[in-house]
Amino acid sequence: MRFKFECVGLPSAGVFAIFATLLSATVASSQRVTPPPASTASGDLSSMDLEQLMKIEVVFAGSKRAQQTRDVPSFVSVVTAAQIKEHGYRTLADVLKTLPDFYISNDRNYSFTGVRGFDRPGDYNSRVLLLLNGLRTNDNMYDQAHIGEDFIVDMDLVDHIEVIRGPSAAIYGNNALFAVINVVTKQGQSLQGPEVAATAASFGTYAGRASYGKTFDNSLDLLVSASVSDSKGQRLYFPEFDRPSTNNGVADHADYERFSKLLATATKGGFSLQASNVWREQGIPTGSFGTLFNDPRTQSIDGLTLASLSYTRSLSDSASFSARVHGGRSTYWGTFASAAGESPDKDDGIGEWWGADLDARRRIARHFVTVGAEYQDDFRQTDDNHNAEPYILYYSMSKHSDRYGVFAQDEITLFAPLLLYAGARYDRYETFGSALSPRVGLIYTPSGQTTLKVLAGRAFRAPNVYEMFADNLTFKPNLQLQPERIETLELVAQQMIGGGVQLSASTFHNKLTSLLTQRIDSTDKRLVFENSGEIASKGLEFGLGVNRGHGPSGELTYTLQRTENRATRIELTNSPRQMAKLQLRAPLGVHDATLGLDAQWMSDRATLAGNTDPGSVVTNLSLLAPRVFGRFELSATVYNVFGVAYGAPGSVEHVQDIIQQDGRSFRVKTALRF
Amino acid sequence: MSRRRCVSRIALLVALPVALLAGARLAAQAPADEAQIKAAFVYNFLKFVDWPADAFRNPQDSFVVAIVGDGDTADATEHFLTAKQLGTRPILVRRIKWDQSLSGVLAVFVAERDSKHVRHVLEAAAAGSVLSIGEGEDFASHGGIIGLLIADRRVRFDIDTDAAQTAGLKVSSKLLALTRIVHSSAGRTGGRP
């Protein structure tokens, strides 16, 4: 069954465009009656001194434009390249687990992120939107956000990561349910020449990177980089398989991981070209999906290629626009060995797409209006399942669909310290129909030191091709699936006190409906997705941050939350009630060396089998010496310093109810800049 | 439905953002909020520079700031400085063209993009004890005195102390303590702060 090319009905988009034209015409005739205010809340910018001004962070992902963190209608965290280096974070998962609200589970195939108490089995991080320099990386088959070594960019090339919590579907559409994570890469300017790095780590892991970056005299900024890694992996013991027939529960050579990554960016004038690629091969040592335990043939290979060309141009009277065309290809090859001496079963999932988007922004008197439109043609969404040798096709699916979205947002300066955000996005999918995602926010900044935010919004996640159409021995299709929705209400308060200290508190209330949930069909024992259940979650967060621009800096956060099924009032699995996180960075006073310490505590989590995964504290310690040995930059990190044994709840496909996470391990890394 | 019809619908999607921009003129690049933060920096710089005694005739004279070129930062700077004071002096903002005289001007914000025009303004500024402020990594190393830039997601600035000295301006050590110092005489320094 193949979808014929069909463009989804667009009358409402037409109406939208006409409406916008009228709005623009009305506004154009009335503009310039009063001059635009100097700033959305300029009263306090004037009273700030240079040191305060230098602390203001500018982020992009909140409303698709550079803004002060304070003015973004969300709870925002920014992690910089310096923090990544000083703490020895290896992956995006390493970064996310240090942020309030986020927690990571690794099933030894992929890393999964839970956010605000929510992490469902079978969800390939499809409830967060992961962007690379503003470009969507979630694929068009599983909507997967890859946050482990399967993430598309080497962490060394990350300039900073913006994490915008809460629903941002009013701007971004699909997947922006719990958070939008925008990874911004370095420009060639920050390298100014060639750079190489080499890594050695526990479990026979060796990695290398070669990069070149430069801004040329004609203002062209160029960066190219390639990374490779090879890891033998661990010898793992799973008590669930402790039988003589399954190697007494020991998986010997089944935890290997290999990857390669490429990134190229070029910027000149308003043009920006970006191409990136990742290929990762990971052995699956857990015997999941009923595979033969300790068979190194069982593995997954994930690949993602993205390319985009964008153009941004500012116009006078505070107006600007950006346009982008992009293309992508995602590949998933799974190999599952079910019996010794027999040919394994193979999955091939390939997605290909191209898309275009256009945004425009304009300040008109006390309004700052952003409108945008997006189109994506998912011209290939294919999946098959076959016997490797001889080739026997068990099942094959070939889809072709498209989607578009239009959005508008207005930021209104009601009076000097009070900003009102009102926006909505309309999305139309060929597969299921349409979704409307509104958002409103009030931001009150009585002084440069205090910020209060009240935020409410609705977001959706479209059922993806894998959830709707996968049809094989393991999965059963459901063509009736509708999007799941989330409605949220959030209060955020931030207070700067003297000495670079910032206090923050926030509270959230989330309601999820028509949840896309995986269950096992009792008639044929296959996994099937359905819209079922309503989930409510509420929580409180407190944070303390210290950053004086010099000397020690750090963050301490605490989250208290409860997430439950609204009908049964039973708490969800894999949902810790409490979390606390600490990050400290201290200069050692010699050769700019720093010591980084981070620790994460999580309370108990319920598992699928009704057991309790006990809480744990995991501590990591890192030493960074940028200049001790001439031009060599050296870092050494010990992960899980105290060797704490802890686990993460398994999913439906696992025999293990709790999957053991990594014990103590180390990494040493050196970089050389010519 | 045909592919051609689809293309026409994509064209309709494009109409929405384009409609918003109807009537806007082409100018320079910089997101609005970044521009406002930069404008606040410009205001602060004026407090930390000493001009030669002969730059002021009497204490009630306006403090004249010129803006050459256009764009978001130029607009934001104009709005920010208008009706502000420096000590007892009211700030007077003048938008001028690159070839206009800097006589009576104490500071100039250079948003001009043509490099020949920029050089002309900077030469005139250096000769007339005018503090020149601009944007980009290259501004302070190519004859300007203070260059605003974005690094580590924050607004930062470079100061060329040689250029300041040539113009007869004294930059406060408090300002120098917060920044990276470049020397136009020694060429460009590498790396970001």
Q: What is the pLDDT of residues A279-326, one digit of tens each?
A: 999 999 999 988 999 999 999 999 999 999 999 887 765 688 899 999
Residue of A6, A10, A59 lying closest to B12 (CB–CB): A10
Nearest residue, CB atoms, A58 vs list B10, B27, B150: B150
As a whole number of angstroms, the distance between CA A460 and CA A167 comes to 9
Burial A509-535 (b: 16+ CB within 10 A, else e): ebbbebbbbbeeeeeeebbbbbbebeb
Chain A residue nearest residue B157, CA to CA: A54
| Tokens linked to B95 | 């938008």
Q: Among A274-283, A337-346, B61-70, which range has the highest average pLDDT?
A: A274-283
Q: Averaged over A20-42, what is the pLDDT?
A: 36
Which residues in chain B have their CB less than 8 angstroms from residue A189's CB?
137, 192
More confident residue, A241 or B155: A241
Residue type, A225: S
Average pLDDT in the A575-600 region?
A: 94
Q: A224: which strand partners?
A: A212, A264
Predicted local distance difference test score (pLDDT) of residue B7 = 66
Beta bridge partners of A518: A529
Whether B23 and A28 lie within 8 Å, measured CB to CB: yes
Q: At what angle do helices B32-47 and B72-81 cross, to 10 degrees?
A: 50
Of A10, A38, A81, the CB nearest to B80: A38
Question: Among A349-353, A356-360, A497-501, whose mean pLDDT is lowest?
Answer: A497-501
Among candidates B115, B113, B108, which has minimal Cα distance to B167? Answer: B108
Residue A2: predicted pLDDT: 34
What is the pLDDT at residue B184? 57
Please tell me which residue of chain B has the smallest CA distance to A191.
B191
- Could you tell me the pLDDT band of residue B150, with boundaries at 50, 70 and 90? confident
DSSP-derived pairing of the beta strands B63-69 and A433-447:
unpaired
Instruction: Specify which residues A563 forms β-bridges with.
Output: A537
Distance from CA of B28 to the nearest CA of A (A): 6
- Tell me which residue in A55, A318, A360 faces B32 most closely, judged by beta carbons: A318
Residue of A nearest to B41 (CA): A50
Angle at A432 between CA A427 and CA A437, to 5 degrees: 30
At residue A518, does pLDDT exceed 90? no
Q: Which residues pair with residue A115 across a beta bridge?
A: A102, A118
Q: What is the mean pLDDT of chain B?
A: 79
Q: pLDDT grade, residue B90 (50/70/90)?
A: confident
Instruction: Look at A315 and B155 and tell me if their CB atoms are within 8 Å.
Output: no
Contact A50 B41 (CB under 8 A): yes
Say yes or no to pLDDT of A36 above 60. no
Contact between A190 and B192 using a beta-carbon 8 Å cutoff: yes
Q: A235 — phi, psi (to 5°)?
A: -90, 115
Chain A with chain B: Cβ pairs closer than 8 A: 202
Q: CB-based contact (8 Å) between A319 and chain B? A: yes
List the single residue in B with minimal CA-CA distance to A70.
B33
- Is residue A579 over pLDDT 80? yes
Least confident of A32-41, A74-83, A127-136: A32-41
Are residues A120 and A602 in contact, defined by beta-carbon separation less than 8 angstroms? Answer: no
Rounded distance, CA A16 to CA A364, Å?
20
Give the pLDDT of residue A178: 93
User: Given CA atoms A561, A564, A566, A568 in this order, what sign does their dihedral have?
Assistant: negative
Name A98's Cβ contacts closer than 8 Å, sequence gap at least 6: A79, A87, A89, A581, A583, A598, A600
> Considering only A426-435, A540-549, A558-567, B1-10, which range has the smallest mean pLDDT?
B1-10
Q: What is the mean pLDDT of residues A180-191?
A: 90
Please indicate whether, in this complex, the C-beta atoms of B152 and A54 are within 8 angstroms of each other.
Answer: no
Residue B171's identity, in one-letter code, is V
SS3 percent helix, strand, coil of chain B, rounded to 5, is 40, 25, 35
pTM: predicted TM-score of the whole model, two decimal places: 0.81
Give whichever of A28-42, A163-177, A311-325 has the largest mean pLDDT: A163-177
Nearest CA among A61, A167, A175, A116 for reference residue A457: A167
Residue A32 has pLDDT above 50, yes or no: no
**A61 or A116: whose pLDDT is higher?**
A116
Q: What is the mean pLDDT of residues A568-574?
A: 92
Quote the CA–CA distance of A143 and A129 in Å, as a whole number. 9
Contacts of A406 in chain B (CB under 8 A): 13, 16
Taking only the tens place, the pLDDT of each residue in A105-118 is 999 999 999 999 99
- Flag whether pLDDT at A9 surpasses 70: no
Dihedral over Cα of B133, A57, A218, B186: its sign: positive
Please tell me which of the candidates A54, A320, A358 has its beta carbon nearest to residue B154.
A54
| Record: contact A189-B192, CB cut-off 8 A | yes
- Establish if A80 touches chain B: CB-CB under 8 angstroms: yes
Over residues A62-69, the mean pLDDT reads 72
What pLDDT is stored for residue A41 in this prediction?
35
Return the residue in B7, B18, B20 with the most chain A beta carbons within 10 A, the one to mutate for interface testing. Answer: B20
Of B15, B33, B84, the CB nearest to A67: B33
